[in-house]
Amino acid sequence: MARKGADSKKGNGAREPSIGNRKARYDYFITNTLTCGIKLTGTEIKSVRAGLISLKEGHIRASEHPVSMTLHGVHIAEYPGAGPKHQHDPIRTRVLLANKREIRSWAVESRAKGSTIVPLEIIWVDKRAKLVIGLGVGKKKYDKRQALKHKADKREMDRH
C-alpha cells in the first residue's frame, strides 16, 4: 500500500495562489532574503489559500530582547465561509517563525539607516504557507525612474 503523503505531493502548488509584493521590489533594493513560517489561525489560512491577502503595506519588526519577529500591516480578509463569532482581525500582528540566530542577525541588520524588512511573497511548502522576507534598502526617486526606463527598453527590444 502506498503512503498517504506520496500522492499528495504531486501538483502541490496547483490550488494555492501565487501571492507576491511587487511594490516592495519597486521601492527597495532587496539585499538578503529569508523564508520563514507564519503563525496563522484557521480562518486566516483559509483566506490565504483563497488569495484574500495583501502584502503591500506590510513590514516586519525583528527584536533581540525578546528574540522575536512580527509581521505588521498585512491585510488578510475575513473568510466568507465562517460565522462572525469565528472571524479573525484582518490587520492583527502575526508572529513569524524562524531560528533565533537568524532573527538576531536580521534585527541587527535592520537597525542600519534606511533599511527595513519587507514581506516579498507567500510560497507553499508541503501545503504550508511560508513567507519570504527581504532586507530592503530604500530606493531614491531617480533609481525608480531608471528601473522603469530599463524595463521599458527591455520590453521594446523583446518586441523587435
**Which uninterrupted H or E stretch holds 150?**
helix 141-159
Strand partners, 36: 131
Instruction: Read off the pLDDT of residues 99-114 as tens digits, 9 standing for 90 and up.
Output: 999 999 999 999 888 8
Say if CB 63 and CB 106 are below 8 A apart: no
Q: Report yes or no: 103 and 70 within 8 Å, Cβ to Cβ.
A: no
Identify the pLDDT of residue 1: 39
> 15-159: which CATH architecture?
Beta Barrel (2.40)
- Integer Cα distance of 84 and 21 in angstroms: 29
Q: In terms of pTM, does the model score above 0.85?
A: no
Cα 143 to the chain's mean position, in Å? 23
Find how far residue 108's CA is from the centre of its chain: 20
- 3 state DSSP class of 122: strand
Cβ neighbours of residue 129 under 8 Å, at least 6 residues apart?
Answer: 16, 38, 40, 45, 48, 122, 123
Ranges of the chain whose pLDDT falls below 50: 1-11, 13
**What pLDDT sits at residue 14?**
55
Q: Look up residue 10 and give its DSSP letter.
A: T
